Amino acid sequence: NLEANLRAVQEFAQEYGIKNPPVGMSTTYGYEAMSQVQRVFRFKPGDDVTRRREEGLIAGFDDMNLICGKKGSTYYNVWALPHLDHADAKDEEWVWKKYINDFATVMVDASLKNRSSEENANLVQKIVEIYGKHIVIEGALQKPSAEGKFEAVKLTEDDDSYAQSAKEYVSKTGVDLVVVELGSKHRALGWADYNSARAKRVTEELGKPMIVLHGGSSIPLEQQATFADDGIIRFNIWTR
């Protein structure tokens, strides 16, 4: 998946004359819907899960450095930005703390473990105060949905109220990027109904583009055309 992503970005950049295209290379550590670092190596009964996950993480860093991190490497022109996704605000703090010089961004996911909105905001606020000067931090207004795992936590159907909630969350936590519910779903392909109007309303309330859309693969291609205009600064694509 690493090289497939880098190659696709490189080919896109060549087609449109982009010199150094950026791409966030995302992985999850202990995310309940899917631990991606755990899939790097084969596990057997009795293995130390923490050690094996960390080995998978290190292998990913080494691979990126080999094929795009050194001058003369195949994908050197691609700016690959390692991202730690869905990192639990408490249990996985040690991961981004230990590898803070390797990650460009981290999603501090305090929406996990059925935490309340208040608990979510308070936890992320503390993390931003400690690490915000060292790494770009993404937060989630609510728990995003994942196909076959769980549905998104519902806040409100009213876009104006929702946009106000997003503004309050960003103001309290100080996050650089925010995940909001726009109809997409993790691990799904091309069937979701993207809420462009809500995205625009949230961006208007925030005053600048800072939305991250999770589950980008679930949005039909024709609906993705308005992402940039709607204030989406990054969207995640699930590569199997």
- The per-residue pLDDT for range 91-105, each reduced to its tens digit, is 999 999 999 999 999
Q: How far from 110 is each of 67, 135, 139, 141, 163, CA to CA, in Å?
A: 33, 17, 8, 9, 19
* Model pLDDT, residue 59: 96
* Model pLDDT, residue 152: 66
**DSSP letters spanning 148-181:** TTBPPPP--S-HHHHHHHHHHHHHHH--SEEE--
Cβ contact 125:135 at 8 Å: no
Q: How far from 131 is each of 29, 94, 98, 136, CA to CA, in Å?
A: 19, 12, 12, 9
3-class DSSP state of 27: strand
159-162 CB contacts, 8 Å cutoff, 24+ apart: 159/195, 159/197, 159/198, 159/201, 160/201, 162/198, 162/201, 162/202
pLDDT digits (tens, 9 = 90+) for 136-148: 999 999 887 776 6
Give pLDDT < 70 ranges for the chain. Answer: 147-150, 152-153, 187, 239-240
- 153 HSE (CA, 13 A, CB side): 17
Cβ contact 233:211 at 8 Å: yes
Amino acid found at 142:
Q
* Model pLDDT, residue 44: 83
* Model pLDDT, residue 190: 72
Tokens of 48: 């130390």
Q: Which of 219, 212, 217 is closest to 238 using CA atoms?
A: 217
Cβ contact 150:142 at 8 Å: no
